[in-house]
């Protein structure tokens, strides 16, 4: 397409837009006059939820630690749950810090650079949540069941006394192996079977592909600055 | 007193907005894939503009400030929609058919879709008649950088290679 043809089409677009200008002006008028419509903090919503969730879990796991002294399985579960929630809080604070730098009326290139960094922080957090889910999930399950049974009985009850230690160790081991090799397995599965939709997205997040794509996008904005 | 000042601000904003709404709609058209996307994007841009208006100092032209907000919101919106579309199994089924009055603009639409976000912004601002200096101010890069990228972009558009690969993309 040459330059003249491009400009001709652009003018045609202008004529087409004339027809909807009045409607859009009314939308604009309503948008600014309706104070209930607030989407400014859309980016900040989930990190804030994650911090609140992480604080609750860290508090519960922390208060659970003194009760578990003497049983390595309970101490390990509480410690891993607490470490997971602290990690969630830290990564969410990093995101909120990046969100604080977002300036919608700033120059496009630096602003998009910051948004890509935010996206990378979110994807990195998601990747580790997925990789650590079996380990932290299992530990949180043990800790919560233990706390719940103790609360119902009105005194500390070690539910793990009824459970075979091998089963606990096997779950710990699976969680650790998945955290280390989960992304390799995800890459292998996506290479063998082309998935679709949410399943593909899940595997891409787990395998680190989404993260790599975001890094490439970040590099493109960086290149734009350098020319 | 505060209410009076808000009313004055609203009137001032609506007046400036009225003068530039066509440009905002073109940004929406360039970055929104469907009519629904564009309507949503338009509202999002208007809300952001209004929320950021208190910070508008009037030193730089309103158009420059407005393009910054509009492009930032539009690119972010496209990024978000791309993520959602990637997750949607029924993407093809949910995408809207091309409206009859859009068929004459298909080449332009395809061309814009084939460019990355940065080049699309440069082409849009170029078609809007912005000079290199203003484009640089809006995008936050040097005017010479804009000039180089603009020339590169036009050379790419003219080249047979691009037309060929563009044709392949379409098919």
- In this prediction, residue B99 carries a pLDDT of 53
- In this prediction, residue B104 carries a pLDDT of 59
Please tell me whether the overall predicted TM-score, pTM, comes out greater than 0.90 for this model: no
Q: How far is B36 from chain A (nearest CA, A)?
A: 13
Distance CA B102, CA B108 (A): 10
Q: How far is B108 from chain A (nearest CA, A)?
A: 7
Interchain CB contact of B116 with A (< 8 Å):
yes
Distance CA A190, CA A204 (A): 8
What are A195-215's pLDDT values in tens digits?
667 777 888 888 888 889 899
Lowest mean pLDDT among A50-64, A89-103, B106-120: B106-120
Give one DSSP letter per residue of A170-192, joined into a string: HHHHHHHHHHHHHHHHHHHHHHH
Separation in Å, CA A218 to CA A223, B74, B98: 9, 17, 32
Q: Walk along chain B (171 residues) and give the pLDDT tens digit of each residue.
A: 445 567 787 788 888 888 888 899 999 989 988 888 888 888 889 888 888 888 888 888 999 999 999 999 999 998 888 777 666 644 444 455 555 455 557 777 888 888 888 899 999 999 899 999 999 999 999 999 999 998 888 888 777 555 655 555 554
- pLDDT class of A61 with cuts at 50, 70, 90: confident
What is the mean predicted confidence (pLDDT) over A161-168? 81
Which residues of chain A are within 8 Å of residue B10 when distances are taken between CB atoms?
32-33
Interchain CB contact of B19 with A (< 8 Å):
no
Q: Select from B22, B47, B57 the residue whose CB has the most chain A CBs within 10 Å, as the one to mutate to test that interface.
A: B47
C-beta atoms surrounding A176 within 10 Å: 14
Asked whether residue A51 carries a pLDDT value surpassing 90, the answer given is yes
Distance CA A188, CA A182 (A): 10
Show which of residues 124-143 on chain B sit within 8 Å of chain A, judged by CB atoms: 127, 137-142
Interchain CB contact of B111 with A (< 8 Å):
yes
- In this prediction, residue B1 carries a pLDDT of 44
- In this prediction, residue B164 carries a pLDDT of 56
Q: Phi-psi bin for B141: left (phi > 0), alpha (psi -120 to 50), beta? A: beta
Structure tokens at B44: 């999002």
Residue contact B26–A25, C-beta within 8 A: no
- pLDDT class of A168 with cuts at 50, 70, 90: confident
Separation in Å, CA B107 to CA A9, A216, B161: 8, 28, 16
Q: For A101, which DSSP code?
A: T
In order of start, what are the domains of chain B with their CATH numbers?
1-96 (1.10.1740.10), 104-171 (1.10.10.10)
Residue contact A3–B154, C-beta within 8 A: yes
What are A115-134's pLDDT values in tens digits?
999 999 999 999 999 999 99
- In this prediction, residue B83 carries a pLDDT of 72
**Spacing of C-alpha B32 from chain mean position:** 8
Asked whether residue A83 carries a pLDDT value surpassing 50, the answer given is yes
ipTM: 0.78
Q: Select from A19, A32, A223 the residue whose CB has the most chain B CBs within 10 Å, as the one to mutate to test that interface.
A: A32
Question: Least CB-CB distance to B68: which of A29, A108, A200?
Answer: A108
């Amino acid at each position: 397409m040459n330059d003249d043809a491009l400009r001709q089409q652009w003018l045609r677009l202008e004529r087409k837009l004339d027809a909807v200008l009045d409607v859009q002006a009314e939308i604009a008028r309503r948008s600014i006059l309706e104070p209930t419509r607030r989407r400014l903090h859309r980016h900040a919503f989930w990190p804030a939820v994650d911090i609140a969730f992480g604080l609750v879990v860290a508090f519960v796991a922390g208060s659970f630690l003194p009760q578990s002294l003497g049983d390595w399985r309970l101490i390990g579960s509480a410690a891993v749950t607490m470490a997971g929630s602290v990690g969630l809080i830290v990564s969410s604070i990093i995101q909120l810090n990046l969100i604080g730098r977002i300036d919608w009326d700033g120059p496009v290139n630096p602003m998009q650079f910051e948004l890509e960094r935010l996206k990378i922080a979110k994807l990195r957090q998601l990747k580790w949540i997925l990789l650590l889910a079996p380990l932290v999930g299992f530990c949180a399950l043990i800790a919560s069941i233990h706390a719940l049974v103790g609360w119902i009985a009105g005194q500390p009850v070690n539910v793990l006394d009824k459970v075979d230690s091998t089963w606990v160790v096997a779950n710990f081991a699976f969680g650790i192996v998945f955290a280390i090799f989960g992304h390799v397995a995800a890459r292998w599965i996506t290479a063998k079977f082309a998935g679709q939709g949410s399943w593909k997205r899940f595997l891409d997040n787990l395998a680190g592909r989404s993260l790599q794509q975001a890094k490439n996008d970040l590099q493109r904005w960086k290149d734009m600055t350098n020319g | 007193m505060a209410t009076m000042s808000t009313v004055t601000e609203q009137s001032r904003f609506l007046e400036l907005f009225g003068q530039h709404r066509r440009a905002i709609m073109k940004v929406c058209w360039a970055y929104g894939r469907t009519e629904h996307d564009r309507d949503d994007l338009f509202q999002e841009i208007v809300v952001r503009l209004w929320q950021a208006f208190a910070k508008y100092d009037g030193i730089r032209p309103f158009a420059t400030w407005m393009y910054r907000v509009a492009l930032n919101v539009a690119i972010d919106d496209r990024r978000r929609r791309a993520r959602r579309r990637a997750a949607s199994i029924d993407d093809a089924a949910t995408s809207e058919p091309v409206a009859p009055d859009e068929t004459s603009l298909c080449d332009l639409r395809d061309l814009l879709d084939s460019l990355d976000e940065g080049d699309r912004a440069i082409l849009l601002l170029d078609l809007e008649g912005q000079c290199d200096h203003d484009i640089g101010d809006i995008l936050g890069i040097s005017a010479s950088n804009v000039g180089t990228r603009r020339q590169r972009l036009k050379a790419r558009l003219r080249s047979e290679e691009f037309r060929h690969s563009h044709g392949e993309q379409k098919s």
